[in-house]
Chains A and B, each alone.
Chain A
């Protein structure tokens, strides 16, 4: 922080915000300045160099933002709706619940598919019961409430999960149904706040996690070593998704700071940032080609962001949809966007035309998670009504 020689307290106008407050006299590089305690806090958090005031920084951020908006507008020569006019209209979908999985005694918070297209892992709110397979082969006891994230390893031989325990643990799956899986557990990730999301990268050996402590991190499963950490969100990071691109080196994350950020796995840098949402970004998902991603937010909208154009290209919202969206996923061709909401419904959107194609009722409480099976034949929704539903 600053070169703090000694601190004394007086009263008067703050050098930074100009308000009359109790002041602290600080010395930054032997220059005395008087900040009120609030500005001093902010300065400490913001890494301000001596001489920069909070206001000047804010002003610079604003002007940069305006210029950025102008630059983005220059290349925006057409809207998605216009381009999509020549796309075929969609025929009515006949989507129904094909399976209802009851087995959790509490809210189901998260789920993930196995690469074999049939199995799933899901996690829930209560300690003694949570993680289980679609055929209830295993039940793992977690010594924590609110297991908010779970993921299946690409090989299908292990699962990872975590939540309010601030950790992400990996459990190898075995054939013996009676074996106590908790005994074989391996703690991989350790954050300083709750774990909100986790996923394996292309192999069983690495896990990418995001947490309420505002960071995401890449871990080596075998050693538990932190390989890379990603800082840049100014609030809880709630979701992440790996890019399906050729070079497979980026991922997107969304947070309570209303932003969605793109990160480079190798360097840890924040490459791009999108901040048009009006509330927490609850879920992000890449478009199948990897050139765009969709996000779901508490502001009751889902949005599509194009990475090459570096802007938001579509908003999926309706006046009658008031409650926040918690999860999104694309169908295999990327034409349909499925989103689960806090009003217990699932809305299906035409990605290109921006219109709503269908609304699915059935859950009796919030939809917490929604994912398509790897071959796109069905999708599964997890809900706070203690069930999972498979729709096709």
Chain B
């Protein structure tokens, strides 16, 4: 092997954080005290030391990391694929067999992290050596690569051939066992770095990423004066949240009547469509978790609007909705929308005048002179918190809500079908693009369409 190695700049190395971790595993495996027990491998008449079986590797991984068979097999397999361990019996098949197939550790000289990317010159020498040693030993793709290299680095070809000859001569003077080991190591290295086309290539990394410098002083200064909350309070809130939503999480508690992806029964989706006639109990309960939950559910929002109208404060919600529309709508319509909002909600004597405190009103009216997307933010937030602190809690105590809750349905859990292998027919659901082109629905249960399917395999 030639001495020169191209060391790429820090960039590509950082993407290979995993290589350093793999090396630590490998080094631990070779530790004389806690590592693997090595055996000798018999190859016809030569005995090669420091080999281990696939089974040994699996056992060691299971024991050291306290993981299952499957995971140990997976991890060990990756170690082989990345070239840190190579098989002795079938060198071209880079998999970990959990029987007594022999494996050896790759020498650090040939580790991916020390010798990447593989140098073209080295590859040319390797192929030349193979060619010289035994004519016709090169496999198809190797022959192709050889010819390509011959064209590309033709100017150094004499050097390549000379190096190849020298290395063959030097190896002939080694002990047979050493020679075999070195050949195996080299071969393993090239099998990983220049795989057969179509075979798995672990060095397929995706687009390159790069790095640059910058200053953090201003950010840190600002961070120092920030208000922070005690950890105990923050962490308690996570506990509360997870607990509150536990029943609503299909993965944790299942869903009624059944998870459509598992049973192919789309009832769960049908009974939970946006503007269904009678919502499920879980859905109505969720409205009481937070004001945002109520507003995010269009059925909930409609109910809340009904309640507000009864209390003659419906304009608050309308105003909030108009502001949301302004914030997230097209840029070209901003001026128009701001005018509309002003006329309808803010101007003195407006049809649906909203009650904002004088300071906020002043600021907003000032801002309207130069309308932009966020000009209503202050007013919107004021009204939002008004509804949240006042109307929302009263809504939850109201008869309207309580009736909704009592009317709400609790679907029966589907009994497992007698013939579990009978699959239901799967059909495509109607595309939202199509639905939006049809007339707007008002309360009709939509989309009785069953689950989406794919044209490929189902498993």
Show the binding face of A for B, using Cβ within 8 Å.
42, 45-47, 57, 60-61, 64-65, 67-68, 71-72, 75-80, 83-84, 86-87, 90, 93, 95, 97-103, 114-119, 134-137, 146, 148, 155-157, 164, 172-175, 194, 201-203, 205-206, 212, 214, 220-223, 225, 227, 232, 234-236, 238, 244, 246-247, 256-257, 266, 270, 272-273, 278-280, 287-289, 291-292, 298-300, 306, 308-311, 313, 318-320, 322-324, 331-336, 342-345, 351-352, 359, 361, 375-378, 384, 390, 392
Contacts and interface: CB of A to CB of B under 8 A. Distances in A.
Nearest to B61: A320
Contacts of A76: 230-231
By secondary structure, the B interface counts as helix
B241 A288 contact: yes
A136 B237 CA distance: 42
Contact of B453 (A86, A135, A155, A310): A135
Given A78-B232, A83-B236, A323-B18, A222 B332 contact: yes
Contacts of A359: 70-71
A278 B20 CA distance: 13
Interface in B282-298: 291-292
B239 A235 contact: no
B433 A334 contact: no
A225 to B, nearest CB: 6
By secondary structure, the A interface counts as loop
A118 B429 contact: yes
A71 B221 contact: no
A272 B223 contact: yes
B429 to A, nearest CB: 5
A273 B78 CA distance: 35
A199 B384 CA distance: 26
Contacts of A234: 211-214
Q: Which 9 A-B residue pairs are closest in the complex by CB-CB distance?
A: A156-B432, A333-B245, A333-B249, A320-B65, A102-B456, A64-B220, A234-B214, A203-B328, A308-B229
B229 A309 contact: yes
12 contacts: A46-B213, A75-B230, A78-B235, A80-B235, A87-B239, A135-B452, A136-B454, A146-B206, A236-B210, A273-B223, A310-B226, A377-B268
A38 B214 CA distance: 14
A306 to B, nearest CB: 5
A343 B78 contact: yes
Interface string B218-255: 01110110101111111111110111111011111001
Contacts of B212: 45, 214, 234-235
Given A87-B239, A156-B433, A288-B245, 12 more contacts: A68-B223, A71-B224, A75-B229, A78-B231, A83-B236, A83-B238, A98-B262, A100-B458, A119-B431, A280-B14, A300-B17, A334-B241
Contacts of A344: 74
B358 interface: no
Nearest to A238: B209
Contacts of A223: 330-332
Interface string B421-435: 000000011011111
Given A343-B75, A352-B238, A256 B209 contact: yes
Contact of A334 (B65, B229, B238, B327): B238
Given A67-B224, A351-B242, A115 B432 contact: yes
A194 B452 CA distance: 32
Nearest to A146: B207
Nearest to A289: B241
B112 to A, nearest CB: 13
Contacts of B457: 100, 102
Nearest to B73: A361
Contacts of A309: 228-231, 234
A99 B237 contact: no
Given A64-B224, A117-B269, A333-B246, A343 B454 contact: no
Nearest to B250: A377
Interface in B443-459: 447, 451-459
A278 B74 contact: no
Contact of A57 (B210, B217, B230): B217
Contacts of B255: 377
A136 B428 CA distance: 10
B277 interface: no
B432 A376 contact: no
B175 to A, nearest CB: 36
B216 interface: yes
A77 B220 contact: no
B252 A331 contact: yes
A118 B268 CA distance: 12
A194 B210 CA distance: 12
B59 interface: no
B384 A99 contact: no
B210 A46 contact: no
A333 B232 contact: no
A136 B74 contact: no
Given A98-B262, A146-B207, A155-B436, A279 B17 contact: yes
B213 A42 contact: yes
Given A47-B215, A135-B452, A392-B261, A342 B210 contact: no
Nearest to B324: A202
A102 B454 CA distance: 8
B223 A99 contact: no
A266 B213 CA distance: 26
B228 A71 contact: yes
A348 to B, nearest CB: 9
Given A247-B381, A288-B241, A135 B455 contact: yes
Contact of B209 (A67, A103, A212, A306): A212
